[in-house]
């Protein structure tokens, strides 16, 4: 079974608009962390934001925020005021428990295109 599901293979957004990228996850471990990474065409994975399973508030980092709905097992990334440089692949990832090795998994990604 897929541990991380990203149902949107591709998304388009107008520059300066907000966009939500979906991520659902599957785990029975009560301790886990959720991550979002950006991968531009250059190939390097860039860490964006982190949400721990015990965190009471949704994580925010500048224009990025994570809409964490624990009961629904969803961790959607919201990008506000999109910029052309936001065009990239976006990956949701999950750490279970100590979270190295087999217990750090990535979803298939969503390609975001920001239109001028």
Partner 1 sequence: DTGVSQNPRHKITKRGQNVTFRCDPISEHNRLYWYRQTLGQGPEFLTYFQNEAQLEKSRLLSDRFSAERPKGSFSTLEIQRTEQGDSAMYLCASSLGLGPAYEQYFGPGTRLTVT
Give Cβ neighbours of residue 84 (< 8 Å, ≥ 6 apart): 15, 114, 116
CB of 110 to partner 1, least distance (A): 10
Q: Which residues lie below 8 Å from residue 28, measured CB to CB, with a gap of 6+?
A: none
CB of 40 to partner 1, least distance (A): 11
- Is residue 57 involved in binding partner 1 (CB under 8 A)? no
Decide if residue 64 touches partner 1 (CB under 8 A). no
91 lies in the binding site for partner 1 (CB under 8 A): yes
Per rule CB under 8 A, is residue 93 in the interface with partner 1? yes
Contacts with partner 1, residue ranges (CB under 8 A): 4, 33, 35, 37, 42-47, 50, 52, 91, 93, 95, 99-102, 104-109
């Amino acid at each position: 079974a897929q541990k991380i599901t990203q149902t949107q293979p591709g998304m388009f957004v107008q520059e300066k608009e907000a966009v939500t990228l979906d991520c659902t996850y599957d785990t029975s471990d009560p301790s886990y962390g959720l991550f979002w990474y950006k991968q531009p065409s250059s190939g390097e994975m860039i860490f964006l934001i982190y949400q721990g399973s015990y965190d009471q508030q949704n994580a925010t980092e500048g224009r990025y925020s994570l809409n964490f709905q624990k009961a629904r097992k969803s961790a959607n990334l919201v990008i506000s005021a999109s910029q052309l440089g936001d065009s990239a692949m976006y990956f949701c990832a999950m750490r279970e428990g100590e979270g190295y090795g087999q217990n750090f998994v990535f979803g298939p990604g969503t390609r975001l295109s920001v239109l001028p």
